[in-house]
Structure 1
């Protein structure tokens, strides 16, 4: 108690920079080691962070001073790395999705329960002031009983900017499993768990061309659906419509919009921690921007780990494995429905995570003067 949670990171790709920025300002966590199949990449990260060792994956898993493994590998490797970390007695926090399939994710959660360790999972963007302020508005009754929601993500594809986009178009990727966790996690946080879904999906191109980096011009295969639509029925009765696309060029639709009988709410991008929440109350003359009233302020990727570190023993973290499993189950059910042409009952559920009061991060003493 009172000591920082020691973190070892496996996977030193582009996303790690955002976690490093957060770790530098979070008193609840301490980065101690990094590992990558490319040892030079791990060493490059260690060289930028005082006191951090670059290790092999096996040595990191065996390290006595690593309390939690942050799993930043590609989605296809999420379950394998998590299971190895759990077998080594470590808690795990993974990038989204929790695993490539619910079967793999279930094995991770069951292994963690048997080992007595904790599982957390991105996205933790839902803990920021954007989604949390919207949640407080709903909980405070500003829109009345929620009726419906729309969630829209439209982009022509990550190959336009990512130098190694292959995994986005392999099993475990695609617009739904890649970007859907942000949107579905936000919808569950705002409206509660999902009980059934209906889905449709299309696969418009069998190949993509890398647009940037040393592999620019290289053609890669597409083995997943690249445009997915889902209708989600929440346990509380609200109905959400989800559109996730790697085929569309652009949209002017709000990222998320919630409608109730007393008002409508525009929720900011769930891939961000902040952003304006707008309310149009029944009878009001115009949209009103709500002040930030809940959530972690100045947050970034990794705040979910700090929240996990502060979660009482035996309690589920806000960005925990239960929520991540349910979100994955919802997305997998949407794809199952798209294949079958029939509605699918979502077999899992999850408690709506506890709200986050408006909170500033606890900054380590060594950074207070900088």
Structure 2
């Protein structure tokens, strides 16, 4: 029988809904309480989902809570995760784990000293699409991967996000906001990064918020580069061109990620999502690969603009908790998050210095998500629209 952990969420903002709703998918997760620096926000979320509303210090002191999900703003991630680990709680943080390497190292050391689980988003690499890609790579279908490309390019989020201000401040921008999804998937497929080089620029000094809400019509001052071009050199020998931008009006990059090997090329879907099809191209032509039969591969979530996507946020937390119960490491581990953070900070630093930056940390690729574990993670009574493990 799967052990269930009592979980509290700190941070009741935009992403709270996904974690609260999707927690019903996962057998190890039992969300019981929430907290926020804004007590009214915590009260609203508690009423919405039938939770107990607490102050942040009250939630951390609550002996009945085993684990914390840290959904605060990125600048607060390290502080809140430190407080949760110091209070004896297993902790899962939204990305990035921290904004400075010293803080990330401290959190990993603190979790280890206290014998606690520490993991971090993104966990999308555990979804059906990218786990299917992992299977193809491990089976040798691509041969030796030599090159690749990854693209995140749009015109910012002020047209849809009610509070876009943090995304344009130092410590954010597209590299630290969306970069974790891409680099985490790439590391899970290709292994650790050796060095990076990049260039960066900013198209606009100010952005106007057009999204509905109290900030509509206000001006956002841009304090970080919003467009970068990077080259990521992996220890495996693969070299990947990585573009991130909040500035482009449109682009022709159909595949968010492409990997090119000596035997075949592989087209991968958006690493911000858990599901999606693959396409392999070799001497025999193009072959689409449906990944909906893979664990957590069924599209299950309707976006506000109507798109049906695969959304299983919380899968990394469930995997961490299952690992705690069964004596194994989390796949979306703190060590993985630290390595990805170093790569992203190096991309920013390389653009500032105009030189290659060597990556000091390393990481073993996370173990693939096997079907036995996937079945154990899925709640027996998960809502039908959320089922994805056959």
Contact 2:148–2:238 under 8 Å retained in 1: yes
Superposed, 1:62-73 pairs within 5 Å as 62-73=61-72
Measured after TM superposition, the shift of residue 31 of structure 1 is 0.3
Equivalence for 2:169: 170
Match of 1:108, SS state, is: helix
Distance 1:108 1:242, change over 3 A: same
**Conservation of the 8 A alpha-carbon contact between 1:76 and 1:171:** no
Residue 258 (structure 1) aligns with: 259
The alignment status of 1:208 with 2:207, answered yes or no, reads yes
TM-score of the aligned structures, taking structure 2 as reference length: 0.90
Q: Distance in 1 between matches of 2:379 and 2:210?
A: 39
Secondary structure of 1:114's aligned partner: helix
Deviation at 1:292, TM superposition (A): 4.6
Structure 2 residue 348 is matched with structure 1 residue 349: no
Counterpart position of 1:39:
39
Q: How does 1:86-235 map to 2 (within 5 A)?
A: 86-212=85-211, 213-235=213-235
SS in 2 for 1:143: coil
Q: What CA distance in whole angstroms lies between the structure 1 residues aligned with 2:297 and 2:291?
A: 12
1 CA distance for matches of 2:141 and 2:247? Answer: 36
Please tell me whether residue 305 in structure 1 is matched to residue 332 in structure 2: no
Runs of at least 5 residues in structure 2 that lack an aligned partner in the other structure? 299-310
Task: Report the equivalent of 2:304.
Answer: none
C-alpha distance in 1, partners of 2:294/2:119? 21
1:2-44 deviation line (CA, Å, top 9, x unaligned): 4301111000111011111211221111001100111121111
Matched, 1:323 2:357: no
Matched position secondary structure for 2:320:
helix
Distance 1:25 1:260 in 2: 36
Q: Separation in 1 of the partners of 2:328 and 2:361? A: 19
Q: Runs of 5+ in structure 1 lacking a partner?
A: none
TM-superposed CA distance for 1:314, in Å, is 5.8
* 1:285, distance to aligned residue in structure 2 (A): 3.0
Question: What TM-score results when the alignment is normalised by the length of structure 1?
Answer: 0.95
Task: Tell me the SS of whatever aligns to 2:285.
Answer: coil
Q: Is the 8 A contact 1:129 1:297 kept in 2?
A: yes
Query: In structure 2, do the counterparts of structure 1 residues 366 and 102 end up closer, same or farther at CA, with 3 Å as the change threshold?
Result: closer
Contact preservation (8 Å) 2:24, 2:382:
no
